[in-house]
Structure 1
Amino acid sequence: MGMLGIYLKVKRALVSVWDKKGLEELAKFLSDREVEIISSGGTKRYLEERGATVRGVEEITGFPEMLSGRVKTLHPAIHGGILARKWLGEDLKEIDKLGIEPLDLVVVNLYPFEEAVLKGGREGLEALEFIDIGGPTLIRAAAKNYPSVVVLTSPEQYPEFMRVWEESGGDIPEEFSRRMAAEAFARTSAYDTHIYNWLWGQIGEGKLPPHLRLAMEMKMSL
């Protein structure tokens, strides 16, 4: 049992990823277990081309993508479904009254800012397009509500998620969801650090930034 003694059932998943490694296998796993998959843009096309049944985000929001895809999931119909606390009847009644369906799984990874800008040399307005807005917002919302929503932020997590599902008979332990939430916040924190350091490099004139931020990945434990 976790903090609230909760096990999570996954019936509806939102999927929006840049890195599509392992996605076809995950989508098939979910579809075979009658999980509804919701997606948009390139992720939706990728899954449909591989035979998956996918519900479009615009069907949920009643609003089309806009600004060349800059705005897709930033909508109360999406975030209400992520942030609703399933252990609180008041939350469930409120979203039901508003016609919002709860989400149980959020699968998101981010635009590759570090690879494209810090390593790839993109600059100016082109670099700005690699600053993900909707992705971190989805990740943080799901991670905040980890007793109700599982968040996966890397293809490396998919095999463990599927194994945990199989071992638990579909009852995802809160401990697993909490760990995924911790990894999610670590990932968004590192992402923001890369952006901050890059922006300061544009304006800092060689000076150290007022707040030193390092984003490092552990390669070996002590």
Structure 2
Amino acid sequence: MDHLPIRRAILSVTDKSGLAEFAAFLHANGVELVSTGGTKKAMTDAGLPVTAVDQVTGFPEMLGGRVKTLHPNIHAGILADKDNPEHLTTLESFKLKPFDLICVNLYDFAKAAAAKADLKAAVEQIDIGGPTMLRASAKNFHSILVVPSPAHYARITAELKDNGMKASLTLRHEMAVETFKATSAYDAMICDYLGKA
């Protein structure tokens, strides 16, 4: 698919800079917003309608927030190949809708490490669901636009405005590369920290 219409998005971010504006732009252009905990609150506080992830999964956030998005109702919507009719039929059979945009940035592990948090406290700042969604979206860039940082909001907003809320394959490919750079740097940072702990 060369030009992907953006109709449904998950936003789940630690760095909330620019979030309200980016989410408001998406909402104003008819995009359904789905979100988790603190991100959902920030968007709701900005007056935006947001569907909670637990309404999509049918399960509450659990284990102190360790499990929120790790669910087939989320990942089937992220990993479905929109050019594969069997994938779309499978989604329909489970009454699931695909996602078109995933906006995720990760728990601030660097801050925990810099603050000399004890090992157990630092480990709690290792993001699991975020990298999983990012990697799944980057893998499936032919069918989804992944947004791994607020640094990309302006460019993505401009392209979507210019293209009738459609994301080009070129943009999706570039964002996939940026995403894998971000997740590999994140893992390298954690590996370095744990290797010295």
TM-score range, shorter chain: over 0.9
2:29 equivalent in structure 1: 33
4+ residue stretches of structure 1 with deviation over 6 A? none
2:69 equivalent in structure 1: 73
2:12 equivalent in structure 1: 16
1:177 to 172, 180, 185: 172
Cα deviation, residue 115, structure 1: 2.2
d(CA) in 2 for partners of 1:121, 1:8: 44
**Which structure has greater helix proportion?**
2
Runs of at least 5 residues in structure 1 that lack an aligned partner in the other structure: 203-222
Matched residue type, 1:63:
F
Cα deviation, residue 114, structure 1: 1.3
2:42 equivalent in structure 1: 46
Q: How many residues align?
A: 197
1:220 equivalent in structure 2: none
Q: Does 1:158 align with 2:164?
A: no
Give the TM-score, by structure 1 length.
Answer: 0.87
Matched residue type, 1:20:
K
Cα deviation, residue 84, structure 1: 0.1
Identical positions, percent: 44
Matched residue type, 1:95:
L
Runs of at least 5 residues in structure 2 that lack an aligned partner in the other structure: none
Query: How do 1:14-163 residues align onto structure 2 when only pairs under 5 Å count?
Result: 14-117=10-113, 119-163=114-158
Larger radius of gyration: 1
Cα deviation, residue 120, structure 1: 2.0
Q: Deviations over 1:59-78 (max 9, x none)?
A: 11111100111100000000
d(CA) in 1 for partners of 2:170, 2:182: 18
1:219 equivalent in structure 2: none
d(CA) in 2 for partners of 1:115, 1:69: 19
Q: Deviations over 1:187-215 (max 9, x none)?
A: 0000000010111112xxxxxxxxxxxxx
2:189 to 169, 185, 194: 194
Secondary structure of the residue aligned to 2:65 is: coil
d(CA) in 2 for partners of 1:99, 1:61: 12
Give the TM-score, by structure 2 length.
Answer: 0.98
d(CA) in 1 for partners of 2:96, 2:32: 15
Name the Cα RMSD after superposition: 0.8
Matched residue type, 1:157:
H
